[in-house]
Structure 1
Amino acid sequence: MKETDQYFDGIADKFANNIYGTTKGRLRHILLLEAMSPFLQQRPHQIIELGGGTGVLSKTLLEQGHDVTLTDASEQVLELARELLAPYPAVAIEQKPLQEIESLSRYSLVVCHAVLEWLADPFEALKHISQQMTPGSLLSLSFFNRDAALFGNAVYGNFAYIARGLKVKNQVRLNPGNALRPAAVIDFLNTLGFDIEARAGIRCFHDYMNDKPETDEKFAELLEAERQYGHQEPFCWLGKYFYLMLRKT
């Protein structure tokens, strides 16, 4: 059966709760913003967020004074985004799949977080983004880390799942079907003419913990450890998501 892109129509509320209603979602949001922060402070940006979902990141970027265009393939997800972003009438919201978005040349920063792993051909999507971008502009990219997914399943003894290539017969819609190896993505980005400005592992420890933090104190301790080691080897390579800030050459 031919692989297809995964969208979230019909499960928009469940998607939103799964991403941002958990410690894993809180951590991801905080750590991604902190990884982006040095580049956001340089100047106000013209930003487009590809596959931006319910608009949580876009809201923060708007609050920081950037001009933001939010896109997503799912109209139902964007309905939630319109509610969240109603106080920001200047934001542009467009319902479009990533592959149909053109004219990225007018943006100084393209954001593509946790999108590639839901696409049938993530490398073709990266090629499309690269072809649309202007030299000197930035790409903030994060994706589900296949190496970390394999390691985590080994830790929990899911060897049959590993032997099947991390595939299940009946794919759960909130489980990404196309996790990517960071080394393979970096190699491909080099061929597209990107320079790496920064890299980090996102959630290098959280997803391997038997007991997730249940108190604010424990969450704060975990967050500090994630901040300290997420940019260091070998820990960065074990982040459940891998992050890159890239500059188009």
Structure 2
Amino acid sequence: MSDPMRPRASLRTAVVWEVLQDALDRRVKATGRDSLDVLDTGGGSGKFAVPVARLGHRVTVVDPSPNALFALERRAAEAGVADRVRGVQGDVHGLFDVVERGGYDAVLCHGVLEYVDDPAEGVRNAVAALRSEGVLSVLAAGLGGAVLARALAGHFTEAQRALQDPQGRWGAGDPVPRRFTAEQLTALVEGVGLKVGAVHGVRVFADLVPGVLVDTEPGALDALLKLEAAAAELPAFHSVATQLHVLGETPGAAGA
């Protein structure tokens, strides 16, 4: 599979993109349609929406930021997919004020659950937007990665605080309101009746390796990408990943 994203950025997105593209390919085969209807809630400037549209799918992006939606429009135009990308202002809690229920083959919920008041409601709304057979892609901040990052930076008290805090926060200055373990994120997806098709650790090493090393050492980027891919599916590394990705499938889609 080719990666449509920039090489440096792919360190943060490659694992998720591979899983997502494979899931969309399977839905195309199962539905017999050339293109799918995809909802990207919290999709911002189109980091995933535009590559998905490049595959030929129709993508609706829901985001509360007008600036992000303006950047999405520009990005889609530059990529030549403006006719397949639609941006609307809103959020996952008020999702059905701006999009229809049950209208999508796939829903992306990336970088959303950390910030909403009720993650369980956010997941319920995302699933309610799916057709009877569909897939849900959830990407959220991982607890273990934050603990490890604070400890390696010498902030040991903050690392312990994050480890013990119910929301996984390291202090009042923490910009992330909530973090998850793989078990917590999986439970949210299973709690709405979906079957978990895959769990991946994302950015297991990428945030810990000095950028100068990746940019200057010959072959370092490709080697690091391969290492990330190899570690992503191993449960032992989920506990230290910066982000966690869970792919949920409706019972019908899971059996397709």
* Pairing partner for 2:11 from 27, 36, 48: 27
What's the Cα RMSD here? 2.2
TM-score, normalised to structure 1, is: 0.82
For 2:183, the equivalent position in structure 1 comes to 183
For 1:17, the equivalent position in structure 2 comes to none
Give % identity. 20
For 1:96, the equivalent position in structure 2 comes to 90
Distance 1:91 1:190 in 2: 30
Q: Is the 8 A contact 2:195 2:250 kept in 1?
A: yes
Once the two structures are TM-superposed, the CA of residue 233 in structure 1 deviates from its matched residue by 2.8
For 1:151, the equivalent position in structure 2 comes to 148
How many pairs were matched up? 226
**Alignment of 1:71 onto 2:89:** no
* Residues 105-138 of structure 1: per-residue CA shift (max 9 Å, x gap): 1101001112211223222211222344333211
* Pairing partner for 1:49 from 15, 40, 51: 40
**Alignment of 1:207 onto 2:207:** yes
Once the two structures are TM-superposed, the CA of residue 36 in structure 1 deviates from its matched residue by 1.2
Matches for 1:219-230 after TM superposition, within 5 Å = 219-230=221-232
1:22/1:168 Cα in 2 relative to 1: closer, same or farther (>3 Å)?
farther
Once the two structures are TM-superposed, the CA of residue 145 in structure 1 deviates from its matched residue by 0.4
For 2:53, the equivalent position in structure 1 comes to 62
User: Structure 1 residues 108-117 or 160-169, which shifts more?
Assistant: 160-169
Q: Is the 8 A contact 2:182 2:238 kept in 1?
A: no
Q: Is the 8 A contact 1:120 1:178 kept in 2?
A: no
Q: Is the 8 A contact 2:140 2:245 kept in 1?
A: yes
Distance 2:241 2:161 in 1: 22
**Alignment of 1:118 onto 2:115:** yes
Unaligned 5+ runs, structure 2: 29-34, 163-168, 252-256
Distance 1:203 1:154 in 2: 17
Unaligned 5+ runs, structure 1: 1-19
Q: Is the 8 A contact 2:111 2:140 kept in 1?
A: yes
1:163/1:233 Cα in 2 relative to 1: closer, same or farther (>3 Å)?
closer
Amino acid at match of 1:157: G
Distance 1:22 1:76 in 2: 25
